Amino acid sequence: MPETRTYGRRRRQLPNSTPDQAPAAQVAKREAVSGRVVSTGSGGPTQMAGWDAMEQTASASGSDMYLKVTEKAAVIKMCGDGPFDVYNSHWIEEIDEGSKSVRCWGTPECPLCAIGDKAKRFSACFDVITLEDPAVPTLKVWEAGIKIARQLKDIATDKKRGPLNRADLYFTIKKEQKKKSVEYTLERVKERDLYEEYDVEPLSDEALGAFGAECHQWGDKVKETLDEDAMGEVVDLLMES
């Protein structure tokens, strides 16, 4: 059983009325066969999360599992044609210790949704090979927001541009800080243009096969689901007067 967690104590004002069911929200899930991003209602099978399992796995692997997107365009290669994990998460500012990000159950039974706390962050997780250091290609998890996820969906479902893991297809991703937000820019790069434009050699078939065998090494969930007891602690924290 998951270890019982004790959260720090800070309080905020919640809505006076308790909704009869979770707020309507659009989330996404994998198609069973293609793995492509598709839209589903709030009753879809998503989960919630704590970070303990992720931190243990990252520590065991000796490296950070996440792709860090910066202002410099990073060349990446997609390992699959869709995300392996998709979820919404609640942000609980009142938690003093541990992660403030809590994975939504994605159902009307989600205790946080039931008390009026909306899940505000969308995450679609992809296995990618980053070529930030071309001499040391590295398998990472790319946690993308809804805007980029929809761009990737459009490419994946386009017969001329997809699938995402086409042998001759690479991508670049970068971010730009605006006044009140961060904007991400995704671009397709053909294998034939990779060296000329980015001074990066394409990955060999052998390397691609080796990385493909390691995909999902962190499991099918990036963020694990909190059980009822742990979720109850979070709800109690928010409802405390």
Exposure string over 137-169, b if 16+ CB within 10 A, otherwise e? bebbbbbbebebbebbbebbbeeeebbbbbeeb
**pLDDT given at position 146:** 93
Kindly state the tokens that stand for 46: 């998503």
Work out the pLDDT band at 196, boundaries 50, 70, 90. Answer: very high
Work out the pLDDT band at 237, boundaries 50, 70, 90. Answer: confident
Using CB atoms within 10 A of its CB, is residue 50 exposed (0-12), middle (13-18) or buried (19+)? Answer: buried
Exposure string over 113-133, b if 16+ CB within 10 A, otherwise e? bbeebebeebbbbbbbbbbbe
CB atoms within 10 A of CB 16: 6
* Cβ neighbours of residue 1 closer than 8 Å, sequence gap 6 or more: 227
Q: What is the mean pLDDT of residues 138-156?
A: 94
220 neighbors 126 (Cβ within 8 angstroms): no
pLDDT digits (tens, 9 = 90+) for 19-72: 444 333 333 333 322 233 322 233 333 333 344 444 444 443 434 888 999 999
Cα angle 53, 85, 2; round to 5: 25
**Where are the strands (E) in 31-116, listed by range?**
37-40, 74-78, 85-91, 101-103
Q: What is the mean pLDDT of residues 94-111?
A: 86
Q: What is the mean pLDDT of residues 161-182?
A: 92
| Average pLDDT of the chain to the nearest whole number | 77
